[in-house]
């Protein structure tokens, strides 16, 4: 076979794209299948376990403690159990997928086929084969029992999509969002945005739901399969570190790298704890750049650095971090946490202490005396920016 250079480049690029997409699909299907099966095992144990009375309501707490894995935390185990209960219909495609992909006998798997046979409603859902993606939403909602074929759900939705849909109370709304996500190849963020803006309710009262759907779909964010693997669920599944989840701009990341060293060199009681501290509030993840514990002040010091001018939402986010630490991390003998927001933008430097929740003025002054001064941090920022610009321009 002969080819010119352009054909070689096109062939390699196409081959790489196909395998990247297939890898992303495989990872997400594996996560969905694993989480569904974990949920199955938990529910089966709770109903039929020989020693279930021994653990009772603390089963998941004990299981999470013994497994000691981030992806198998108490919160996640509860989520997997809920996932299985709400999406039992996925049993058949998951079972078929595992047998096909892993080429192994089914003895190590729970008896999913028997479960499906015993669940008549599930069989009824599986038997519905006329639910075509091309139909209008209203046409598909004529029958309350109508379900999207489970094979389509399993092949088109990631586990992150399923977690959002589980938070929808209305049965028809769940089907609606499943259908629209598949039809529009929605990203996780797009599905979340449409749910939060009540797309289902707006469609229900619209004079022309079909036209509205076409309008929504035309401007929606599509799912990029290579982006799917960057979700926290995937990082937990692969055992990657929290710091690898967040993509930082080059300047910001470089500043954070040196800021950690700078703070520790100052001494004054700083004890480093972690970088990119992941904070989960409801179903949203936030990341605080640096977390220290100050042994003299007996409090946590949270630092966020922005490679831009500080905005109101940055301050609100820091206050969220502080509230989270007060309610979830702070010990009875700790003092309230303090936050430091730092930013830089083309010669404009700002250092701001966030002391929301600290009541005593004297105590604030105690913080100020033991923490780096604003002048010192500002001077450090200026020097670091010059150094990074020099590195970028090849002068250093």
Output the pLDDT for position 181.
92
Range name among 152-161, 267-276, 348-357 with the lowest pLDDT average: 348-357
Average pLDDT over residues 76-103: 88
More confident residue, 150 or 274: 150
Extents of the domains making up the chain: 5-234, 245-392
Give yes or no for residue 132 having a pLDDT over 60: no
Say how far apart CA 219 and CA 4 lie, in whole Å.
39
Output the pLDDT for position 142.
46
For 292-339, the pLDDT digits (tens) are 898 888 899 898 887 677 777 888 888 899 899 999 999 999 988 888
**pLDDT-based confidence at residue 346 (cuts at 50, 70, 90):** very low
Output the pLDDT for position 114.
52
Cα-Cα end-to-end distance for the chain: 49
For 180-234, the pLDDT digits (tens) are 999 888 888 889 888 988 889 888 888 787 888 887 877 777 776 556 656 767 7
Average pLDDT over residues 83-111: 76
Residue partners of 58: CB distance under 8 A and separation at least 6: none
For 18-40, the pLDDT digits (tens) are 887 787 788 889 999 999 999 99
Range name among 44-58, 241-255, 357-371 with the lowest pLDDT average: 357-371
Give yes or no for residue 240 having a pLDDT over 60: yes
C-alpha separations of 268 from 260, 298, 375, 380, 384 in Å: 14, 12, 16, 17, 21
Output the pLDDT for position 124.
38
Q: Determine the 3-state secondary structure of 56 from DSSP.
A: helix
Output the pLDDT for position 224.
66
Say how far apart CA 169 and CA 175 lie, in whole Å.
11
* Radius of gyration for the alpha carbons in the chain, expressed in angstroms and rounded: 26
DSSP result, 129-197: ----TTS-HHHHTTSTT----HHHHHHH--HHHHHHHHT---HHHHHHHHHHHHHHTB-HHHHHHHHHT
Give yes or no for residue 247 having a pLDDT over 60: no
Say how far apart CA 355 and CA 263 lie, in whole Å.
19
Say how far apart CA 322 and CA 339 lie, in whole Å.
7
More confident residue, 184 or 350: 184
Output the pLDDT for position 354.
60
Give yes or no for residue 140 having a pLDDT over 50: no
H helices within the chain, ranges in order?
A: 5-48, 52-55, 59-67, 74-86, 91-102, 112-118, 120-127, 137-140, 150-156, 159-166, 171-184, 188-196, 199-204, 209-218, 225-228, 232-238, 250-266, 312-328, 361-370, 374-392
Give yes or no for residue 241 having a pLDDT over 90: no
Average pLDDT over residues 87-101: 87
Output the pLDDT for position 392.
56
* Contact of 344 with 254, CB cutoff 8 Å: no
| Mean pLDDT, the chain, whole residue set | 76
More confident residue, 360 or 1: 1
Output the pLDDT for position 384.
78
**pLDDT-based confidence at residue 270 (cuts at 50, 70, 90):** confident
Range from 93-102, 120-129, 222-231, 239-248 that averages highest in pLDDT = 93-102
302 forms bridges with which residues in the sheet? 291, 339
User: Does the structural domain 245-392 have CATH classification 3.40.50.2000?
Assistant: no
Output the pLDDT for position 279.
87
């Amino acid at each position: 076979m002969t080819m010119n250079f352009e054909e070689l480049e096109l062939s390699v690029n196409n081959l790489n794209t196909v395998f990247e997409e297939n890898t992303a699909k495989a990872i997400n299907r594996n996560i969905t299948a694993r989480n569904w099966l974990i949920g199955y095992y938990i529910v089966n144990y709770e109903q039929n376990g020989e020693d279930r009375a021994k653990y009772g309501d603390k089963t998941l707490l004990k299981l999470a403690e013994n497994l000691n894995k981030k992806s198998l935390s108490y919160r996640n185990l509860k989520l997997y159990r809920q996932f299985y209960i709400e999406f039992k219909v996925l049993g058949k495609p998951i079972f078929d997928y595992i047998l096909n992909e892993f080429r192994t006998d089914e003895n190590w798997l729970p008896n999913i086929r028997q479960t499906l046979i015993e669940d008549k409603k599930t069989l009824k859902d599986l038997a519905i084969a006329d639910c075509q993606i091309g139909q209008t939403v209203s046409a598909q909602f004529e029958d309350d029992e109508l379900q999207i074929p489970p094979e389509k759900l399993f092949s088109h939705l990631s586990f992150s999509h399923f977690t959002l849909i589980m938070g929808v109370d209305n049965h028809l709304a769940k089907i609606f969002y499943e259908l629209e996500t598949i039809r529009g190849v929605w990203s996780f963020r797009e599905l979340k945005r449409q749910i939060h803006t009540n797309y289902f309710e707006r469609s229900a009262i619209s004079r022309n739901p079909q036209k509205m759907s076409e309008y929504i779909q035309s401007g929606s964010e599509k799912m990029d399969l290579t982006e799917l693997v960057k979700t926290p669920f995937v990082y937990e599944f692969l055992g990657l570190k929290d710091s690898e989840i967040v993509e930082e701009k080059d300047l910001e990341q470089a500043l954070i790298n040196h800021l950690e060293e700078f703070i520790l060199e100052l001494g004054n009681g700083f004890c480093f704890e972690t970088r990119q501290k992941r904070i989960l509030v409801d179903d949203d993840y936030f990341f605080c750049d640096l977390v220290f514990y100050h042994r003299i002040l007996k409090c946590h010091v949270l630092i966020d650095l922005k490679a831009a001018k500080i905005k109101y939402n940055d301050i609100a986010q820091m206050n969220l971090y502080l509230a989270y630490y007060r309610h979830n991390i702070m010990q009875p003998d700790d003092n309230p946490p303090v936050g430091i927001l730092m930013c830089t933008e083309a010669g404009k430097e700002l250092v701001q202490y966030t002391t929301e929740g600290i009541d005593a003025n004297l105590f604030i002054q105690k913080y100020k005396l033991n923490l780096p001064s604003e002048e010192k941090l500002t001077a450090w920022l200026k020097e670091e920016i010059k150094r990074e610009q020099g590195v970028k321009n090849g002068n250093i």
